[in-house]
Amino acid sequence: MAQSSPAPPALDDARRRAAEASGGTSNEAIYAAIFRALEEFRAEGPILDFGAGTGTLTRKLLAAARFESVTAADLMDRPTDLSAAWIRADLNHPLPMPDSSFQTIVAAEVIEHLENPRAMARELFRLLTPGGLAVISTPNNESWRSLISLAVRGHYIAFLDGSYPAHITALVRQDLGRILTEAGFEVPAFRFTDCGGIPGKPTISWQKISAGGLRGLRFSDNLLAITRKPGARP
């Protein structure tokens, strides 16, 4: 397993402050989309919550009782009430775990926080068993709301000053496809949260004004890339 030198103290402190600024949790629409993907792609075996934050998704994975074991990894300290195994580590570097440790890895709203998304993809590939499943969610920079922000403000909506330095790496589907296939993964499938705010009034959703009719790429604030490591599943 590749090893890397620890970050200088100033950088480590900056990364920790950025992690804390993000709040360490995501919204329920993202979690619901992740569980739909886990069901659709028949996730199983030991699972890793890569970038667990305050442990909200980890608790949901434990409650689902469908996985052999649940492990969480994050730069933040382990929540005192969490029973899952916890790896405290800077996710910009390899985890202290053997190759092929997990059959499923979920990275909920993590890749946009990291400095090198290709390094993250390679690490997920290393940690997965052959046939293992990766589910990665991130802000959807191809929604109407984000594209209008790019045209008017010069940046995607989830990467404006208010989200910095927590959000530092903006990606679109083509980026994710390239990153994952270059790491060795199969071509990813994409799914959407089907929950998105309208431009200028994000507390009002496209789904509310359309009675649920507006869905998918242009009307979701977040997307999921789902892929497998080639090989026979255990």
For residue 11, what is the enclosing H or E element? helix 9-21
Question: How much is the pLDDT for 10?
Answer: 65
Q: How far apart are CA 231 and CA 203, in angstroms?
A: 43
Tokens of 196: 């998105």
What pTM did the predictor assign? 0.91
pLDDT at 135: 98
Torsion sign, CA atoms 84, 87, 90, 96: negative
Taken in order of first residue, the domains within the chain and their CATH numbers are 9-228 (3.40.50.150)
Three-class SS state of 134? strand
Contact (CB, 8 A) for 115 and 86:
no
The predicted structure's pLDDT at residue 2:
45
Q: Is 189 strand, coil or helix?
A: strand
pLDDT, residue 233, reads: 77
CA distance 62 to 44: 13
> Residue 232's pLDDT is what?
86
Estimate the share of the chain in helix, then strand, then coil, as percent rounded to the nearest 5. 35, 20, 45
CB 142 within 8 A of CB 204: no
Q: pLDDT tens per residue, the chain (234 residues)?
A: 444 555 666 666 666 666 666 666 679 999 999 999 999 999 999 999 999 999 999 999 999 999 999 999 999 999 999 989 999 999 999 999 999 999 999 999 999 999 999 999 999 999 999 999 999 999 999 999 999 999 999 999 999 999 999 999 999 999 999 999 999 999 999 999 999 999 999 999 999 999 999 999 999 999 999 999 999 877
Q: Are 58 and 70 in contact (CB under 8 A)?
A: yes
The pLDDT, as a whole number, for residue 1 is 47
pLDDT at position 69: 97
